[in-house]
Each structure stands twice: as C-alpha cells, then as structure tokens.
Amino acid sequence: MPILRQIAQLGQPVLRRVATKIDNPADAALQALMDDMLATVAEVDGVGIAAPQVYESFAIFTVASRPNPRYPHAPEVPPLVVINPEIVWMSSEMEKGWEGCLSIPGVRGQVSRSTKIGVRYLNRTGDLREEEFDGFLARVFQHEFDHLHGLVFVDRLESTRELVTEREYLRGLRNQA
C-alpha cells in the first residue's frame, strides 16, 4: 500500500539541492517511492510532485493532471512518472501563466514559461521516452523539472507584484466563470 508522504515546505534545504539521477528505476524502494508520490499528489490535489518535495533527492517527478479544486481547468491525462528528465529543446515563444506549489502553500504567481518543449526521460519501467509537450503540460513539466535543480516557481517571478494569495486567485477564477 502506498504511504502518504509529508511534503517539504520552502525553507527545507532538500528543495534547494540538485537531485541525484537514478541508475536503476526497477529498484523496489524507488518503485515504492513512485507509488507514494502518485498517492500523495492525488490526496492533496496537486498536478505534479517532484521527489525532493517528499524529502527524497532523486531525479523523479510525476505529472498527474486532472481537474480538481486547486486546478479546476487542468486537462485530464493519465499519471506520468518521469525519471532523469532532460529538456532537449524549448520554444523561444513564452507565455505567462499561474502556478502554485505544494511546497509553498497559499500563494500563486504568474510565471513565464516556454509554450512548447521537447523532452527525454525514462518512464517507470526504465524505457527511454522522447516526447513533446505544449500548454499546461509543458508548464507542469518545466515546474517539476526546476524542482530537480533546486529551483521553485517564485524564483522565476518577474516581480513580486505577480504573486497573489491562493484565496484571491480562486476568487478571481470564480468571478470569471
């Protein structure tokens, strides 16, 4: 049975470390970690989580996008486990969009990201995958990729004026609807 993991909050040194690449994705402890990450991110309505966010400094993250109360407009895609990712190319076209982070509760910020990326990674069975992502998934991938390099989304804000509380962010979404 997967275990719900505690989420490291900003200030924990693990979030600022460069994560270690995985040699053997089949390792039982790492497979259990992946199950725990998927269960944890579903429990807290995240759309992705990186291993350092559960105090494990390994180059693993999940993308688990589905509409939920924190991200009402997230697309529905089957949960993806990403190991040792590389971003092979990124579009020069950038777009600003709202991001939040389970490690920085209560705030959302506008972050500029490439609209399209080409990536390479191992899936959880250790197969090499090459894919392209655009839109919301490209954003989530870049956000989680940053976590493996000790970066969080607030590092990428152009101005602290583009940071708002989650309460006001969600109020804004409701007013648009």
Q: Give the residue numbers annotated as catalytic, written as ranges.
A: 144
Measured torsion, CA atoms of residues 90, 95, 100, 103, in degrees rounded to the nearest 10: 30
Nearest to 51 by CA among 32, 34, 66: 34
Q: Which of 25, 9, 22 is nearest to 154 (CA)?
A: 9
1/11 with CB nearer Ni ion: 11
CA 158 to chain centre: 20
- Binding part of the chain for Ni ion, among 27-35, 100-108, 115-123, 159-167 by CB under 5 A, reads 100-108
CB of 45: closest distance to Ni ion in angstroms? 13
Q: Which two tokens stand for residue 152?
A: 């969080």
Residue nearer to Ni ion on the CB measure, 81 or 101: 101
Does the footprint of Ni ion cover residue 60 (CB under 5 A)?
Answer: no
Structure tokens that stand for 69 in this block: 């109360």
What is the smallest separation between the CB atom of 104 and Ni ion, expressed in angstroms? 7
Tell me the closest approach of the beta carbon of residue 126 to Ni ion, in angstroms.
Answer: 25
Cα dihedral sign, 21-152-116-36? positive
Both tokens of 168, joined, read 């006001």
Binding piece for Ni ion, criterion CB under 5 A, among 33-41, 95-103, 114-122, 163-171: 95-103
- ∠ CA 72-96-169, nearest 5°, is 40
Output 101 or 148, the one with its CB closest to Ni ion: 101
- Which one among 30, 82, 101, 107 touches Ni ion, defined by CB under 5 A? 101
Number of residues counted as binding Ni ion (CB under 5 A): 1
Smallest distance from Ni ion to CB 28, Å: 27
Q: Which residue is nearest to Ni ion (CB)?
A: 101
Positions touching Ni ion (CB under 5 A) are 101
